[in-house]
Structure 1
Amino acid sequence: MPVEAQHEAFKHMRAQRQVQAVKVIRAATGYGLEDAVDVAVALLDGIEVPEPRT
């Protein structure tokens, strides 16, 4: 996931705008909804961004 998108999504998550964060992640990566939510939560929790499920 591009670093810029990670930073933007993280800012949205910190401001409690999860929907906006998920939109940024999906646009940047093409991930599905569930994977994008997982990434958003991971960013907020400071853990490594998970790989998408196959």
Structure 2
Amino acid sequence: MKNKLEIIRKQHGVKQEELAAALEVSRQTIGSLEKGRYNPSIILAFKIARYFNL
């Protein structure tokens, strides 16, 4: 699944570590999401959307 998480994160000036801490996941999870190797649960997807006000 393609996503724009990396682009959105960088536009907001947020590091992977900061986003991971805010979402209560590991930095590796954020990296995997950005590379398309991992699809988020619906709960994590909503947390990401809420974090970026999307």
TM-score range, shorter chain: 0.3 to 0.5
TM-score (norm 1): 0.33
Bigger fraction of residues in helix:
1
TM-score (norm 2): 0.33
